[in-house]
Chain A
Amino acid sequence: MNEIQALQDLLAKPPATQAVRDEGRHRLQRLMRGKPAPSWSRTLWPVGALGVTAAAAAGLIVLVGTGSPAVHNAAPNSPPPAPAPMSANEVLLSAATTVGGQPSTGRYWRISTSGSLGSFDTGRGYKIEQRMKRTLWLSGSPSGTSWAVTQFLGYRPQTPADVAAWKADGSPTSWKLPMCRLKKCPDNAFSNTDQPVSAERLGKAGVVGSLGNYPITLAQIRKLPSDPAKLKAEIARRLPGAHGTFLDTVTFEDGIELIMELPVSSPVRAAAYRMMAALPGVRALGEFTDPLGRKGQAITMGADGSTKTKHRLIIDPATGMPLTWEQYQTRNGQVVMDDTVSVAGWTNSHPDLQHP
């Protein structure tokens, strides 16, 4: 097998569903007729009736979840207005103060996350999703060993509605779905069985992660500046060719990745939050509940230099650390990527290589 065929196997995906195909054609036809795409925010939200950004964001979730414009009818008997929501600046600077005050001592920076690897339409009325659990044990000392402990979970129905449709389908535990390599789409098997846990030793040539487009070593991490402007310049240096709003959004992403996935000192972690606070385009969404039911302060930022997708970062005010980092489509609110944090912080515990 040559490398081109190997790539085709590696990157095989199911074909688009008829619904996706039809929706795309409708978007094109609306444009041809000179009509803008319908905007949920314009058609369904009474802008100004509630606290602007927070209400809009909360309304978005309600609409996507239930398909009914619940926000509309709330107005006449609505409770007294909530206290003024924190601005994005306040959320980020407060997180900076909180993480900056933490001791940077401990043998390992440990972070456990669960994230979606993607979902597939089964063609039986529901989608199945695969998630990956991962714990990073990143040694803060050159003599220590860093680990990534990973487990791929089995495919499961995605939303409560998907679970109901899956039960109606007889609760199958495996599925056959076509996976396309150019025009050929043979069936592949997908099962709900979790895969074994694997532990990968990190730190080859001192590399414990990446920043910008390049790997970063522990020695380089120790030289990262705790001044927000200097940190921003260092990240920009690692993103050759990026400029304008695209540079802003990738700087935002790299700020979050640095906060979550690098064994930096507390002042550098705080500097990353301060750097993010100074970026144009960062907005507050108010209080948000994450997929695990935890409440935090959410901020949003364009995700691709356009307005099509956005990042949503939900921060725990108590620890200053992210609870969940999502990417969602502004058009319909659908979350396309998420990383949900269960544990984060410095620890003296011995790495547990059996559990992600």
Chain B
Amino acid sequence: MTSAHETDASLASAFSRNPDAFTEVYDRYFDVVYGYIAGRLNTQTADDLAAETFTLAFRHRDRFDRGRGALRPWLLGIATNLIARHRRAEARHYRALARTAAEPVLDSHENQVVAALTARAVQPRLARALAALSAKERDVVLLMALAGLTHEEIGEALGIPYGTVGSRLNRARGKLRAAMEGMER
């Protein structure tokens, strides 16, 4: 359907014939995988786990079914499994965010400064709410926020039905929204 799908399909058929073509998968998707892992854990861990995601993907490249899905959700599903093993790093990250305010964004216009200040005030509550989500809720909402996946792609990444993605996402977003609104009252 999309050009990303077509690119993925041709990339996948390329690396199934010639494994060296897999470096192109790395170059194309490294940033999104890195941003997703660094956002959930920390940069030091992401430095290692992003590379690990691709070496694991390469080892299991025969499991990628190009008829059924795209490379990006497949890679992010692998990254999600690796993140699950770093429970302490993730909990520690959100705990720290719950106690701090974000650094200000530079070069903002005045109304953006106001928006940035409001966002700063919301952040500790949001971090606390994020830490309080179940791991399954966190997976779906962070695949959307940090990796930009659609409902369908989240389903592919986690191997869960479309309907389950929707209900988990609604629950997670509702809890996060309640935490943010609690701030405004």
Q: Which residues of A contact B (CB under 8 A)?
A: 1-4, 6-16, 20-21, 23-25, 27-29, 31-32, 115, 117-120, 132, 148, 150, 152, 176, 179-180, 182-183, 186-190, 195, 198, 200, 246, 250, 253, 303-306, 308-309, 327, 329, 331, 334, 336-337
Contact = CB atoms under 8 A, between A and B. Distances in A.
B26 A336 contact: no
A31 B46 contact: no
Contacts of A250: 87-88
Interface in B136-171: 141-142, 144-146, 148
22 contacts: A1-B115, A4-B145, A6-B123, A8-B146, A16-B50, A20-B47, A20-B51, A24-B26, A24-B54, A25-B23, A28-B22, A31-B58, A148-B99, A179-B103, A182-B35, A182-B148, A187-B105, A188-B103, A189-B103, A250-B88, A304-B85, A331-B48
B122 A11 contact: no
A119 B30 CA distance: 20
B42 A176 contact: no
7 pairs of A and B residues whose beta carbons are closest in the complex: A24-B51, A11-B39, A304-B85, A13-B38, A7-B145, A336-B44, A3-B176
A179 B102 CA distance: 11
A1 B119 CA distance: 8
Contact of A16 (B34, B40, B145): B34
Given A150-B99, A253-B87, 13 more contacts: A2-B177, A3-B126, A3-B180, A7-B126, A7-B141, A7-B146, A14-B38, A25-B23, A120-B43, A179-B103, A187-B105, A195-B101, A200-B99
A16 B99 contact: no
Q: Which of A8, A9, A200 has the most CB of B within 10 A?
A: A9
A186 B42 CA distance: 19
Nearest to B96: A117
Contacts of A187: 105-107
- Which of B87, B127, B144 has the largest count of A CB atoms less than 10 A from its CB? B87
A25 B126 CA distance: 35
Contacts of A13: 35, 38-39, 43, 46
Contacts of B105: 186-188
A259 to B, nearest CB: 14
Contacts of B39: 11-13
A31 B144 contact: no
Contacts of A305: 85
Which among B42, B47, B100 has the greatest number of chain A C-beta atoms within 10 A? B47
B126 A27 contact: no
B68 interface: no
B31 interface: yes
Interface string B103-115: 1111100000001
A236 B26 CA distance: 38
Contact of B30 (A1, A21, A118): A21
A329 B48 contact: yes
A118 B106 contact: no
B173 interface: yes
B85 A306 contact: yes
Instruction: Give the interface SS of chain B, mostly helix, strand, loop or mixed.
Output: helix
A9 B59 contact: no
B173 A3 contact: yes
A10 B102 contact: yes
Nearest to B91: A210
A132 to B, nearest CB: 6
B26 A28 contact: yes
Contacts of A303: 86, 88
A310 B89 CA distance: 12
B92 interface: yes
A31 to B, nearest CB: 5
A118 B88 contact: no
Given A25-B26, A186-B105, A6 B122 contact: yes
Given A200-B99, A246-B85, A336-B45, A9 B123 contact: yes
Contacts of A200: 99
Contact of A6 (B55, B107, B119): B119
Contacts of A14: 38, 43
Contacts of B88: 250, 253, 303, 327, 337
A118 B44 contact: yes
B40 A11 contact: yes
B65 interface: no
A195 B48 CA distance: 30
A20 B127 CA distance: 28
B31 A15 contact: yes
A3 B51 contact: no
B97 interface: yes
B127 to A, nearest CB: 6
A7 B30 CA distance: 21
